[in-house]
Each structure stands twice: as C-alpha cells, then as structure tokens.
Amino acid sequence: MNKEETTSHLFFECEVSFQLWMACFNWLGLNSVMHNCCVQILEQFYGFHYCSAKYHNCWILIWLSVIKIIWLARNDLMFSSKIIHVSEMLNLVQLRSSKWLRARFLSLNYDFFSWSNFPGVCLS
C-alpha cells in the first residue's frame, strides 16, 4: 500500500467497499447517501424503519455483517493475495446476516432464498 490504511478508507471509501455498500443498499431496497464515517453509517442504518419495530435492531446486525465481510476480504487480499468480488461479498453478507439474525431473533422464520431475495418481507 502507498498510504496508511484508515478505517474510513478501508470500510467506506475504497472502491470495493463502496460498491459493496451500494450493493447492500440495493439488495435491501434502500436509496441512501453514502457517508465515509463509521458512526454516521451506523446511525444511518439504525435510523432505517424498513422492518417492523420488533426487528428494528436487525439493522445493526446487517451493518456488522458488512463490516465483518469487508475485514475478511481485506485479510484474504493482504495475507493470501485472494481477491473476492463484490457479488461474492454480497452473498457472504447475506449468509452471515441471515445466520446472525436467526440466532438473535428466534421468531424469524425464513429460508436463505427468501432472505437473499426478499429481505423486507422476512423482516415485516
């Protein structure tokens, strides 16, 4: 790397991270401005009222899933020279968030196909 790696750059500003966030917004059916500050994006996610009040905290788990997948992809690139494409990263976000949400909210009853194609229906 030519520059010092910053949190903002890694998670929000680099091209791959930005594309993943946009893909996630699209998957979730959201139109949004992309901030480059961790706290602002977390607050933005927490402010979405796309799901029922019962599942409002789901946004935090989805946000954490995106952060986790970006970190793992970064480590794969840095330590194994493995490139993970944005579409694969989105699938991993969907899978991880599905597992975490179903563990946290036992009343969520959907399969992975439904979650990856109709997240709004799963959370309503």
Q: Which two tokens stand for residue 24?
A: 């996630």
Q: What is the mean pLDDT of residues 116-124?
A: 89
Q: Which two tokens stand for residue 122?
A: 């799963």
34-90 pLDDT per residue, tens: 666 667 776 666 666 665 666 667 888 888 999 999 999 999 999 999 999 999 999
C-alpha–C-alpha distance, residues 120 and 83, integer Å:
30
The pTM score is 0.85
